[in-house]
Amino acid sequence: MAYRDSTAERTTITRNIGDLEEKTGNVYESIVILSKRANQINAELKEELTSKLEEFASSTDNLEEIFENREQIEVSRFYERLPKPGAMSMQEFEEDKIYWRKPDSETKS
């Protein structure tokens, strides 16, 4: 997913708890779904950021390179300005873009 184009809120907003409960029938189940999706988004963003920052890594860093690497600072700032993974997962949940399923509850006889 293109997280760069996300229109999720960058600040905390108040949500109606009834809206969360509507889709699953249980507010706690909705929160678990949101948290699992937020963890997935966070892992993907971290992997992407790490791969971009590895481009700047060198085995012979001197003090000047550490403080003057503007490109690396810009990449880091870009990721800091993105909406938080929790906000992105909430937006996806509201727009019905998250797929979840309950495992079949089988009882052994």
User: Among candidates 22, 20, 17, which has minimal Cα distance to 89?
Assistant: 20
Over residues 37-71, the pLDDT tens digits come to 999 999 999 999 888 888 776 656 566 565 557 78
What is the model's pTM? Answer: 0.77
Instruction: Name the DSSP letter for residue 95.
Output: T
